């Protein structure tokens, strides 16, 4: 079901400052920041081998990332796994009784379709499932 770790997500207060940190200290070139209005974030990706690091900054304080920052501060936010068929994966998880945040895919950054598994359903870790756009 899971193809690979697609990215690790970090919640940040200021995406520009965090991007400069990763670029200066680790030589990682940031992607172009992208606003994902549906999720209330601006996100940018850094390639790390075959995986990525995603920095996410809230665009409004009532977004899930805004609430996360208010409660926990900056840091690790989620792990994202690439899946081949997101709708099928969600249906199977639901049949298995896994607690989902999203029962249907939604629009993600970079033309992806995404859905989240609630941390209660995944041993305390917010888990994002990502279906890449089909060429």
Is the pLDDT assigned to residue 77 strictly greater than 70?
Answer: yes
pTM: 0.92
Domain with residue 54: its CATH number is 3.10.180.10
C-alpha 57/C-alpha 110 separation (Å) is 16
pLDDT digits (tens, 9 = 90+) for 126-135: 999 999 998 6
What mean pLDDT, rounded, does the chain reach?
A: 94
**Model confidence at 1: pLDDT above 90:** no
- Which residue segment(s) compose the domain that 37 sits in? 2-131
Domain count, the chain: 1
* Residue 81, both tokens: 């796994």
């Amino acid at each position: 079901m899971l193809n690979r770790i697609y990215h690790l997500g970090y919640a940040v207060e200021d995406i520009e400052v965090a991007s400069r940190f990763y670029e200066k200290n680790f030589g990682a070139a940031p992607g172009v920041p992208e606003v994902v209005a549906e999720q209330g974030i601006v996100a940018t990706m850094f390639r790390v081998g075959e995986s990525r690091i995603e920095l996410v900054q809230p665009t409004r304080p009532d977004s899930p990332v805004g609430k996360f920052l208010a409660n926990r501060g900056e840091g690790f936010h989620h792990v994202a796994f690439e899946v081949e068929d997101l709708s099928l994966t969600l249906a199977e998880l639901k049949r298995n009784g896994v607690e989902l945040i999203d029962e249907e895919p939604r629009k993600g950054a970079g033309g992806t379709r995404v859905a989240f598994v609630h941390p209660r359903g995944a041993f305390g870790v917010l888990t994002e499932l990502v279906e890449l756009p089909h060429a």
